[in-house]
Amino acid sequence: MAIYLDDPKKFKGLVGQAHQLAMNALRPISRKYDKAEHAYPQELDMLAAMIDGVSESGASQGAGAAGVKRDTAAEDDGTVKNGTNLASVMSIAEMCWGDVGLLLSMPRQGLGNSAIASVADAEQQERFAGAWAAMAITEPGTGSDSANITTTAVLDGDEYVINGEKIFVTSGERADAVVVWATLDRSLGRAAIKSFVVPKGTPGMTVERLEHKLGIKASDTATIIFDNCRVPAANLLGSPEIDTKQGFAGAMATFDNTRPLVAAMAVGCARAALDLTRELLEQAGVEVDYDRPALTQSAAAAKFLQMEADWEAAHLLMLQAAWLADNRKPNSLEASMAKAKAGRVGSDITLSCVELAGTLGYAEGELLEKWARDSKILDIFEGTQQVQQLIIARRVLGLSSSELK
């Protein structure tokens, strides 16, 4: 099956709309909510309503986190499909050209929405439609090792009783619901880990605190305590059966769809930094010549060319991971590659742009220093750089998690 590297023509309208929203709606309030940490950006309500309207019209092709899904039921007829996953990463990259923190604060575009879209059955998809869902995975003692989750879910009649603590939950206070990862039986290891939708206001679920952070300050990041929190058994996403042969694959399938989204965030933020830095270099009389070797140009121009090459690699890996999902191909390796590459070069590019711009890059007169702060989280959440490299090594070498730690 051929892979085409040009952006699909049918998404050009969507990408153009996303760019206009980023430029005219997100950029103007970017600094305001960076300074007003934990204040909810009221302007996003109208913007979210506009996006919902476009989605309902069918013009968006399912763009955004809520549109990400893998259609395993459809037959592979051998044709190339550019679908919701590709539309999502392309539109999210454009929105993050505007502001990552504000994109993460967008109603109904939480990573929990992507989890629901990825693994929920048809009845659950309909029941949770329109809800804004956060995702709670990380715990104080687990960090990036999701397989060691200690939060428990015990079946009691037709309800599960959840107990545990989750930290760094994006939109944990604002969202309508939280997708919580918990284990049904710790003795069975990673195979027993399932995800549950816990609606806001459920007794036993308490937002303990909001974190003060380096970047993405517009987004609330919560610590949530679950103390005998009861949810209907029907809120378990996917199958309640524990399949020790499948292991952790069911729960981890969510990451195959969310990691390209995080890669898209890094790609968008890095592109913003490159675009502004090019303008600042031109104003300073530094020419970036694409027709001459980098070694014959100034150090600043050579550095800029190297950053653009790194950005292009991350961009293409992001598109590949999403494209494979659209075409019902395994993409776990490619999703981790996209996340690892984009997360690293996103942070490298934004910091390097601060350096190239000198005092303009470090001061608050421009958004470069903010983008450098915002981009760091994109190399951390949804699996750190080190975890992604470990996953990639296992896939490439054909080794299990017990064989390569």
CATH number at residue 47: 1.10.540
Residue 334: CB atoms within 10 Å: 24
Asked if residue 150 is part of any domain, the answer here is: yes
Residue 243 located in a structural domain? no
What's the rounded Cα separation, in Å, for the pair 163 and 102?
31
Residue 269 lies in a domain: yes
* Among 235, 259, 278, residue at a domain's last position: 235
Instruction: Tell whether 177 is covered by a domain.
Output: yes
What is the average per-residue pLDDT within 341-365?
A: 98
What token pair was written down for 266? 């890094």
Last residue of a domain, one of 179, 209, 235: 235
Q: Which of 178, 207, 235 is the last residue of a domain?
A: 235
Q: Note the pLDDT of residue 74.
A: 47
pLDDT in tens, 43-76: 999 888 777 665 655 555 555 555 566 554 445 5
Percentage above 90 pLDDT, the chain: 70
Say yes or no to pLDDT of 294 above 90. Answer: yes
Region of poorest pLDDT, from 29-43, 144-158, 221-235, 279-293:
144-158
The rounded distance, in Å, linking the Cα atoms of 108 and 59 is 17
Tell whether 2 is covered by a domain. Answer: no
Quick check: is 59 in a domain?
Answer: yes
Which positions are annotated as active-site residues? Answer: 382
Q: Which two three-digit tokens encode residue 21?
A: 């929203």
What pLDDT score was predicted for residue 70?
Answer: 54
Q: What's the pLDDT at 228?
A: 98
Question: 127-156: b or e for each residue (b if 16 or more CB lie within 10 Å)?
Answer: ebeebbbbbbbbbeebebebbebebbbeee
User: What CATH number is given to the structural domain containing 225?
Assistant: 2.40.110.10
| Whether residue 201 sits in one domain with residue 151 | yes
Residues 167 and 302 in one domain: no
Query: Which residue range forms the structural domain that includes residue 89?
Result: 9-127
Predicted confidence at residue 117, as pLDDT, reads 85
What are the helix (H) ranges across 99-193?
100-104, 111-119, 122-127
Q: Are residues 154 and 284 in the same domain?
A: no
- Which of residues 94 and 250 earns the better pLDDT score? 94
Same domain (yes/no): 255, 387: yes
